[in-house]
Structure 1
Amino acid sequence: MTVNPLLRARIATMALFFASGASYATWGVHIPTIKARFALSDAELSVAMFAVAGGAILAMKSLGAWVARVGSDRASVQGALAFALSTALLMAMPGFWTLLPLLALFGAANAAYDVAMNAQAATVEAHCGKPIMSGLHGMFSLGGMIGAAVGGSLIAAGVAPLAHCIGMAIITAAVALLSSRVLLADHPPVPLGAGQHRQANRLLWILGILAFFGLVGEGAMYDWSAVYMKETVGATPYWVGWGYAAFSAGMAGGRFGGDWLRARLGAVQLLRWSGWTGFVGIVLALLWPDTAPTLIGFALMGLGAANLVPIFFVGASRIEGVTPAEGIASVARLAYVGMLLGPVLIGALTHATSLRVGLALVAASVALIAIAGPRQLRRVAVG
């Protein structure tokens, strides 16, 4: 039986997103391993984590042009192979100072893979004629959850970290190579005049700033949800980790249902509802700091945050005169900065006041998206 080429491309893109999430989770579960192996202080570990983020942010400047030049189909494969190689080497470095440049390369390779596969996702969605981006991001989330669970189980079973990283690298490389023949070629952009080019850049900056605020909230939930559960809610040790789990469950559910919602509500309405859902969730957690209400609030925040980045990426991919790769890279760069700075800003506010005040920044960020985002999104042909 012959499989529809468009369906094959969609399945291959789903596999790329899943492998990306699982590979990144491999790094996440081995952060404590790296800390113990090199006897790092918290400050030194922060430098290592910043190297990953810094490598990604620096690479974003040129990634859009590179993906546009080689095509998102080829770039997805090449980015995945580079990411697989850097993943395989994570546990092979002999010392901390040799690890740092590798982590920067790991971050850059992850960014290349991320931009390329999102550009390919935009191309596949354009061919499909219906929303699929949120579901693909859901596959990334699912890959992260399964990758973290498998990684934790392998650590508990005493599997060597190097073997784990090499195994994950082989899987990622295999997915990339198997996908290479079925991914789709990009549509060429329509050339613009000077005035239109300035307008396109302005729209990209607006979407990027909105994505920045969206990732401020997402990054904060990754880093501060467990702390809030322990120190503000006073949850028992069993329930502390459930704050992040509730947020992640909301994210996964929102992403797998996001395409259905965007097809029926449209991107503008979905963005508005997403922002207000996240706002209500955080306000509930802040005003009622008890275990059950906080978990419900964090789940609502995950539900609200789930479709922000997919909507912004689709919007960036449809700005006239800009290739999907260049548009997504521009928006993703500011989004990465938000992910990096969000937890730091909240930490500074927490130090000066309290964690509840710090997390109020998350509420303000998603409220801003709910208020300002729909008006700006109407200027981009995204449904």
Structure 2
Amino acid sequence: MLSARIATMLLFFASGASYATWGVHIPTIKAKFGLTEASLSLAMFAIAGGAIVTMKPLGRWVAHSGSARASVLGALGFALCTAAILAMPSFVLLLPALLLFGITNAAYDVAMNAQAATVEAHCGKPIMSGFHGMFSLGGMIGAAVGGALIAAGVDPLAHCAGMAAITAAAALWSRTRLLADHPAEPASAGKRGRANRLLLILGVLAFFGLVGEGAMYDWTAIYMQDVVAATPYWVGWGYAAFSGGMAAGRFAGDALRARLGTERLLAASGWMGFAGIALAIAWPSTAPALAGFALMGLGAANLVPIFFVAASRLPGVSPAEGIAAVARLAYVGLLVGPVIIGGIAHASSLRFALAVVAASVALIAVAGPRQLRRAETPG
């Protein structure tokens, strides 16, 4: 059991580090192909679009293959695509490469989360948030190492190939240590219909949670610069405060879920995120804004792990299909969240736009616990 848990943690860490490797090389890609902001947006949309469009069939594939096998194959495919991105000779070839990058990332993501749900079920105690904490830690370390390698003049293709080799090695090491999924119970049409309705509700709640998370990633620096009027040194700390809160909240999330229960933790998370954004809006100075963004990170940290666990336990669907259904709407929220906030900010102000983020997490705090009770009640 311990070896399966360590192997799954390693898969989450490698996923976060690999995605961060892509993130730090976005400027490299823009410079290599001479992209405008519009062309770069198209490239980034190819990744998200590939993931969203294929999420449902990928969920079925993971359920059919088993999360252990699918995690290894997904990680190997993702590693190959990570290595290939900067090897593309033209923007025309880059787009399909990024589309495959998004598809393999989605396959890897659904499979490792389904495996995490299987490991948690075997352990008999909450451990899902810790896995997501390893993803956050991998992202932070991957970004830091990537920045250092860029500063040292390391060839970007060599960097991506090296990260791909690490991800592939993690997948191959994990291959014999991951657990077989529990056999899916036969489901009546009525039970499956109820599960699909609940998955839609959980997915909508995850959408609102990821709208807020996406907004934090893209708009904290702008808020610190334009609204708080922070000095240049402190502008980037808004993002760092939110990311640090996310990582801390995820590593503490399992113990909190065991102590408080899923419903109370979800409500507390939503209200904490609301309080954080409200603080940053009401008191637009450097220290209060940073404290508010850190609180939002703490609040947002366990939303996705909670929704994924709930989706993986619904009678009538396999864990992989349940997670894929919720993840699909969550990814849409992450994609459109920054756009929605930008549009609202353009029409009114960024402070008002962030008030919409506060409202979205408050909605989760109010409506989420009741929906979790419905998901946990046999139909």
Which category of TM-score, normalised to the shorter sequence, fits these structures?
over 0.9
Give the one of 84, 90, 105 matched to 1:89.
Answer: 84
Instruction: Give me the whole-angstrom Cα distance separating, in 2, the residues matched to 1:226 and 1:57.
Output: 27
Give per-residue Cα distances to partners, 1:294-339, cap 9 Å, x unaligned: 0000000000000000000000000012111000000000000000
Offset of residue 253 of structure 1: 0.4
Counterpart Cα distance in 2 of 1:153 and 1:47: 28
CA distance in 2, matches of 1:92, 1:58: 25
Deviations 1:126-179 (Å, cap 9, x if unpaired)? 000000000000000000000000000000000000000000000000000000
Identify the range of structure 1 (31-40 vs 250-259) with the bigger mean alpha-carbon deviation.
31-40
Which segment is superposed worse, 55-64 or 270-279? 55-64
The Cα offsets for residues 182-218 of structure 1, whole Å up to 9 and x where unpaired, read as 1000011211212111111011001000000000000
2:108 aligned to 113, 138, 147, which one?
Answer: 113
- What does 1:1-383 align with in structure 2 at a 5 Å threshold? 6-381=1-376
**CA–CA separation in structure 1 for the residues paired with 2:125 and 2:46:** 38
In structure 2, how many angstroms separate the alpha carbons of the residues matched to 1:190 and 1:69? 14
Percent identity for Structure 1 against Structure 2: 76
CA distance in 2, matches of 1:215, 1:176: 28
**Residues in 2 aligned to 1:163 and 1:189: alpha-carbon distance in whole angstroms:** 43
Counterpart-to-counterpart distance in 2, 1:100 and 1:357: 35
Bigger drift between 188-197 and 171-180 goes to: 188-197
Deviation at 1:381, TM superposition (A): 2.7
Give distance in 1, aligned partners of 2:376 and 2:28. 46
Q: Distance in 2 between matches of 1:168 and 1:377?
A: 38
What displacement does 1:90 show? Answer: 1.2
| Distance apart, 1:96 and its partner CA | 0.9
TM-score using structure 1 length: 0.98
Residues 22-77 of structure 1, C-alpha deviations (whole Å, 9 max, x = no match): 00000000001111111111111111111111111111020110000000000000
Q: Contact 2:56/2:321 (CA < 8 Å) preserved in 1?
A: no
Shift of 1:264: 0.5
- Partners of 2:248 and 2:162 lie apart in 1 by 29
Distance in 2 separating the partners of 1:203 and 1:145: 34
Matched to 2:314, the amino acid is I
Q: CA deviation at 1:372?
A: 0.2
Aligned residues: 377
List, as ranges, runs of 4+ consecutive aligned residues in structure 1 with deviation greater than 2 Å. none
Provide structure 1 residue ranges, at least 5 long, that are not aligned to the other structure.
1-5
RMSD over equivalenced CA pairs, Å: 0.7
Distance 1:200 1:85 in 2: 35
Structure 2 distance, partners of 1:101, 1:364, is: 37
Gaps of 5+ in 2: none
* Deviation (angstroms), 1:347: 0.7
In 2, the alpha carbon distance for the partners of 1:375 and 1:153 equals 46
Counterpart-to-counterpart distance in 2, 1:17 and 1:351: 37
Give the distance between the partners of 1:218 and 1:191, measured in 2 at CA: 36
Q: In 2, Cα distance between the equivalents of 1:349 and 1:157?
A: 40
Tell me what 1:3 maps to.
none
Displacement after TM superposition at 1:380 (Å): 2.2
Give the whole-Å Cα distance in 2 for the aligned partners of 1:381 and 1:187. 18
